Chain A
């Protein structure tokens, strides 16, 4: 396999960095030289990856304008030979690239714009999961509520941004007047998810951001309500917890797949009645 290996390695190197060596391995005709023929592969590689990045980051492209976006894309392609089998994932590193390689003063905001847009893309084709419905919760006995644990649907992503990237993205996509990219003194939390087939996003209040992270980390409803005390005061925490839960259900943020209560996992030490209740909540 030595000859095949050496040809493939040399050809790939040529695509990354065209030179004369590979020309000697290829036939030429009167109509087209080996260099001309090889150039098609080198050009196609860059064009294809640039097209993918353009499709994945239309908001960033609109914001930057054709020329600057093309410059960034060229630099990204030069620095990132694809290691992905599926082109779907090639653009995953663009936010980090902008953060570390871009020289502009706006690099932090641009990185966040890319991070936000990539999150929308992830939401687009995230795994499907049946949504948790209100009816399903209605049959959970009150005694089991404190131990209930919820699971976020797979498309949910929680972002902490230090700029107005989502607003900039929305304006850029709408073709509206350019708004300034401004860093914020304090970080703001955002949620990105998919509703139906459409990626959605909205800003999160501090208590909701905390509560969603608590859900993500497997805290039960009692722990969430208890944690909300620091934001809402003792007497309003349970009410706020219930209100957030209602919103999450309405927005389709919770997955039906793994609603569990502690009763389920501790069934062996409980009565059979409790086990049945646990199974009902977690079925």
Chain B
């Protein structure tokens, strides 16, 4: 799958079907469609008839010490059988322990112990789903004293040990770099290019002392610059804009996506020259 996509949001269902926007694919949030039936699944099916779709989850909790949720995995597998996504992704995080759920993308300590644990679970998930998955770097606000390696080293080692792919969120790299004081380019340099299958772009809220990853605003200039640097390193990677709140009309996001197309065109032309 190639090109530029958007996160599929309910307020755009009708507009997508009526206007067939200039978007090469859509990313559907898995959990929104892991329901028995009705409007969400109806629209997903109709949009899938016209566009490639990828599934993006928030509940795998691949880093948790709890057992993997087999019910969730079975539901995800059933949804994948119905939607036939190009790929399935989730986040490098944990979402709860002891049978409880914080419904948040909680960061992991980057230790050898956590790496072994997560790699084992990713392999189990991939065996169950019968396909490789993509894991996304999350925005974080805390860093554990126990961490023994950088986030990018952890992600690269995980991709190698678990044989999984990477969904690189450029905004999340920017947010975490600001929050923890590392160089975002160093992050990009640490990621194995062959594993990067998809890129996310999004907006955030800069509170001065910390940046909160809100996904409720336009992509800012420095994130576009970092995206250009990512393309320089990784080449053409399917890219999308992720907007979860204050969602503008579809046409506005399609126009914002044009900026990604333009940057990509420039970078790749220069790279080829």
Contacts and interface: CB of A to CB of B under 8 A. Distances in A.
Interface in B36-50: 36-42
Given A3-B113, A4-B65, A125-B35, A26 B143 contact: yes
A48 B104 contact: yes
A83 B101 contact: yes
Contacts, number: 131
Interface string A18-32: 000000111101011
B98 A126 contact: no
Number of contact residues on A: which range applies? 35 or more
B269 interface: no
A4 B37 contact: no
Nearest to A2: B113
Given A27-B144, A128-B37, 20 more contacts: A3-B109, A4-B65, A7-B146, A24-B145, A27-B142, A29-B181, A32-B210, A37-B142, A40-B210, A48-B104, A82-B96, A85-B31, A86-B31, A88-B35, A125-B35, A125-B36, A125-B38, A125-B39, A129-B37, A155-B38
A154 interface: yes
Given A5-B65, A8-B94, A86-B31, A38 B142 contact: yes
A194 interface: yes
Nearest to A22: B142
B59 interface: yes
B142 A197 contact: no
B126 interface: no
B209 interface: yes
A82 B113 contact: no
Contact of B96 (A12, A31, A129): A12
A45 interface: yes
Interface of B is mostly: loop
Interface of B: 31, 34-42, 59, 64-65, 69, 71-72, 94, 96-104, 106, 108-109, 111, 113-114, 117, 141-146, 179-181, 209-210, 212
A41 B37 contact: no
Nearest to A123: B38
B144 A7 contact: yes
A124 B101 contact: no
B182 to A, nearest CB: 11
Contacts of A11: 106
A84 interface: yes
Contact of A8 (B37, B97, B104, B141): B97
Interface in A194-246: 194, 197
Given A45-B103, A124-B38, A7 B210 contact: no
Given A32-B210, A81-B100, A83-B101, A3 B111 contact: yes
